[in-house]
């Protein structure tokens, strides 16, 4: 199905016949979203360059979640609870939401899709809460990719529910050793490689030379990933998401992940806008909103050095 004014997206068949949505912007930028997991698998700039990393061994076969892109972790991040790792939203088939409640700001985008997930009877057996999870994915006129999650408690038994959440974004980078992250320095974090003990980040920007799996707490609304070699900076803007996870499995851990190529770790970095340390609780009728906006901009230089301050301004 081609895009029209009423349906500002295309519907197509993806890998293994799975349904996918394609968003296109007039200058050639695009994004792809699988209904399986409401999973963004591709985000391309005007030169057709892929900005997200999709594993070279990604398996597009339910119930295995897709490795790479932007998996949605809901209603549980990692093993912070009794559900499967990262919850079940990423391995359910979502539906297109034909009549979503209006969202205030979508003025800068005419390529977007609204998707919805409601629990099945089987889901209610493992997580006994009725909810509506609405996701809007929009490709802006400047090429920015925006994901807006709206999660509503629709329990009729009067019970609140609590969840943790993350946009588990795999950014494509030229070489992990050449990358730095700005915006998380001096913050507290839980180190997943040290029994989630709490530490404080020291010094400058974060650089990478070994496995990392950290949950940063109380993070700013803007974080930047500077890719020296590509001369590209990703700017992450987030609302409603206090945490940020930084993950790269490096060589040894990668070999234990069956759907990740051995060399893939060199070419991605996960920086995940998240709500983990302070889980979200919703009473019946209440709605939570968590917004992620990603842009890729040329890096600015000053005397041969990257100038992250300019980027974060
Ligand atoms: O966000 C980091 C993390 O929780 C890591 O601990 C790591 O295992 C990763 O996510 C991938 O999880 P997955 O369930 O997709 O294999």
Interval between CA 51 and ligand 1 midpoint (Å): 20
Interval between CA 122 and ligand 1 midpoint (Å): 24
Q: Is 86 in the pocket of ligand 1 (CB under 6 A)?
A: yes
Q: Where in the sequence numbering do the catalytic residues fall?
A: 168, 272
CA angle 90–221–285, rounded 5-degree value: 55
Q: Is 132 exposed, middle or buried (0-12, 13-18, 19+ CB in 10 A)?
A: middle
Output the pTM of the full model: 0.94
DSSP reduced 3-state for 277: strand
Interval between CA 78 and ligand 1 midpoint (Å): 6
Name which residue sits closest to atom 16 of ligand 1, judged by CA: 257
Residue 34 vs residues 49, 80, 99, 253, 279: alpha-carbon distances, Å:
19, 26, 19, 27, 27
What does the pLDDT profile of the chain (313 residues) look like in tens digits?
A: 666 655 689 999 999 999 999 999 989 999 999 999 999 999 999 999 999 999 999 999 999 999 999 999 999 999 999 999 999 999 999 999 999 999 876 556 789 999 999 999 999 999 999 999 999 999 999 999 999 999 999 999 999 999 999 999 999 999 999 999 999 999 999 999 999 999 999 978 999 999 999 999 999 999 999 999 999 999 999 999 999 999 999 999 999 999 999 999 999 999 999 999 999 999 999 999 999 999 999 986 433 444 555 555 5
Name which residue sits closest to atom 10 of ligand 1, judged by CA: 78
Give the residue among 66, 126, 120, 311 at the shortest CA–CA distance from 205. 311
- How many helices and strands in the chain, by DSSP H and E? 3, 23
């Amino acid at each position: 199905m081609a895009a029209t004014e009423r349906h500002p997206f295309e519907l197509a068949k993806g890998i293994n016949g799975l349904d996918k949505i394609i968003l296109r912007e007039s200058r050639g930028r695009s994004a792809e979203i699988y209904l399986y997991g409401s999973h963004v698998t591709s985000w391309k700039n005007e030169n057709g360059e892929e900005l997200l990393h999709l594993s070279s061994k990604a398996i597009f076969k339910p119930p295995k979640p897709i490795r790479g892109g932007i998996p949605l972790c809901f209603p549980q991040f990692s093993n912070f609870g009794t559900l499967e790792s990262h919850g079940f939203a990423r391995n359910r088939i979502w539906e297109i939401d034909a009549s979503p409640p209006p969202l205030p700001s979508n003025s800068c985008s005419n390529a977007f899709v609204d998707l919805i997930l409601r629990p099945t009877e089987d889901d209610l057996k493992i997580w006994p809460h009725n909810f509506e999870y609405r996701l809007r994915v929009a490709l802006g006129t400047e090429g920015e990719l925006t994901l807006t999650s709206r999660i509503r408690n629709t329990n009729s038994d009067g019970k609140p529910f609590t969840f943790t959440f993350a946009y588990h974004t795999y950014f494509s980078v030229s070489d992990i050793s050449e990358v730095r992250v700005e915006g998380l320095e001096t913050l507290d974090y839980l180190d997943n490689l040290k029994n989630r003990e709490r530490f404080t980040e020291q010094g400058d920007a974060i650089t990478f030379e070994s496995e990392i799996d950290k949950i940063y707490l109380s993070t700013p609304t803007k974080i930047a990933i500077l890719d020296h070699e590509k001369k590209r900076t990703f700017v992450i803007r987030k609302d409603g998401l206090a945490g940020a996870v930084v993950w790269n499995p490096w060589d040894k851990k990668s070999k234990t992940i069956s759907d990740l190529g051995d060399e893939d770790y060199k070419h991605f970095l996960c920086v995940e806008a998240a709500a983990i340390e302070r889980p979200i609780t919703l009473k019946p009728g209440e709605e939570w909103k968590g917004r992620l906006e990603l842009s890729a901009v040329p890096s600015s230089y000053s005397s041969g050095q990257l100038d992250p301050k300019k980027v974060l301004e």
